[in-house]
Amino acid sequence: MLITADAELEAMILIVRAAAKRASELYAEHVEAGLAVTEKAPGDPVTRADRELDAFVSAALRERFPDAGIVSEESVPAGAALAAELERREVFFVDPIDGTREFVDKNGEFAVMLGLARDGRASAGVLAVPSEGLIFAGRIGQRAFVESSDGSRDLVQVSAVTRFEEARMLVSRSHEPALVGPLRRRLGIGTVSPCGSVGVKVARLVQGKAELYVHAGAGLSLWDTCAPEAVLVAAGGRLTDLDVGLIDYRGPTGLSRGLVATNGVLHPGVMSALGWAERQAGRRDG
């Protein structure tokens, strides 16, 4: 099947494809000899791969989209400069290595993500899973697709599972939310599996390999959600915060109410149970 996207999305894919290739090279180097790991904050690792890819993707975007705003995880501007980027009509959000902890741990569960927001809402996204040679892309209002390492493309769509006992739930490998247990009991969710990287989890959803992912509380930023939201919605799913609100990409950059990503049909049921699950977990305040 010949699948093409609009010029803007194709340009985004081209940038992510090159970044993912370099990420694969750096990952192989890390597996073989190890890259130096530092911490931006306690428990928040960063490597040369994060910084190198941040610089590469940002430079490529500046050249190709000079009028757009750019907010990239490892080079977020401060104060008025950040506000100036966020107030532009189109803003790119870059997570050069989503899942740095998994990159460091050498388990392959990391992604390269580039999302585009227009007028404060997610519009288009590209996320690559370098260890699998896959690139997922989509624009809201169009169909999502996956590009394999040989360049072939296939449409992707979330699963049609409607029963929670058949649903597969993904949770963070490093910090499972306290509400996962109560939520699973309340809904009778079939299986719960740990997985690193927001991008990798959403890739599983758009492939129909899982139906649900919940991240409670703080710890996420706009660059964690923009590309995944666009790709997931284009594949038929839904992504909101825990209050059923759409993510506002005009800022602030930190998300205080986590996210819920589903195959769409299960979303209302999850949202109806979240308040109870949060109270049971003692985390109603996020």
What CATH architecture applies to the domain 164-281? Answer: 3-Layer(aba) Sandwich (3.40)
Q: Environment class of residue 282 by beta-carbon count within 10 Å: exposed (0-12), middle (13-18) or buried (19+)?
A: exposed
Q: Domain spanning 7-155 has what CATH number?
A: 3.30.540.10
Task: Report pLDDT for 1.
Answer: 64
Q: Is residue 206's pLDDT more than 70?
A: yes
Task: Report pLDDT for 283.
Answer: 47
DSSP single-letter state for residue 164: G
Low-confidence winner among 68-72, 198-202, 216-220 (lowest mean pLDDT) = 216-220
Q: How far, in Å, are 187, 206, 265 from residue 190 at the CA level?
A: 9, 19, 16
Residue with tokens 């599983």: 204
Task: Report pLDDT for 176.
Answer: 75
Q: For residue range 246-260, list pLDDT tens digits in order.
A: 999 998 999 989 999
Assess contact for 183 and 171: CB atoms under 8 A.
no
CATH 3.40.190.80 in the chain is located at 164-281
Question: How much is the mean pLDDT over the chain?
Answer: 95
The residue among 282 and 7 whose pLDDT is bigger is: 7
CB atoms within 10 A of CB 137: 30
Q: Is residue 266's pLDDT more than 70?
A: yes
Assess contact for 33 and 48: CB atoms under 8 A.
no
CATH 3.30.540.10 in the chain is located at 7-155
Task: Report pLDDT for 146.
Answer: 98
Q: For residue range 100-116, list pLDDT tens digits in order.
A: 999 999 999 999 999 99
User: Taking residues 170-190, what's their average pLDDT?
Assistant: 90
Q: Is residue 284's pLDDT more than 80?
A: no
Q: How far is 125 from 237, CA to CA, in rounded Å?
A: 14
Q: Is residue 99's pLDDT more than 80?
A: yes
Q: How many residues does the chain have?
A: 286
Alpha helices in 34-144 (DSSP H): 48-64, 79-86, 100-105
User: Taking residues 135-154, what's their average pLDDT?
Assistant: 97
Taking alpha carbons only, the member of 187, 195, 21 closest to residue 101 is 195
DSSP single-letter state for residue 4: -
Backbone angles phi, psi at 68, to 5 degrees: -90, 155
Q: Is residue 173's pLDDT more than 90?
A: no
Q: How far is 229 from 252, CA to CA, in rounded Å?
A: 17
Percent of the chain with pLDDT over 70: 98
Q: Is residue 171's pLDDT more than 50?
A: yes
* Tokens describing residue 198: 């927001």
User: Taking residues 208-220, what's their average pLDDT?
Assistant: 92
Q: Is the peptide bond before 228 cis (omega within 30 degrees of 0)?
A: no
Helix (H) or strand (E) holding 168: strand 168-172
Residue with tokens 């490529």: 60
Taking alpha carbons only, the member of 257, 273, 202 closest to residue 233 is 202
Task: Report pLDDT for 285.
Answer: 39
Backbone angles phi, psi at 163, to 5 degrees: -110, 130
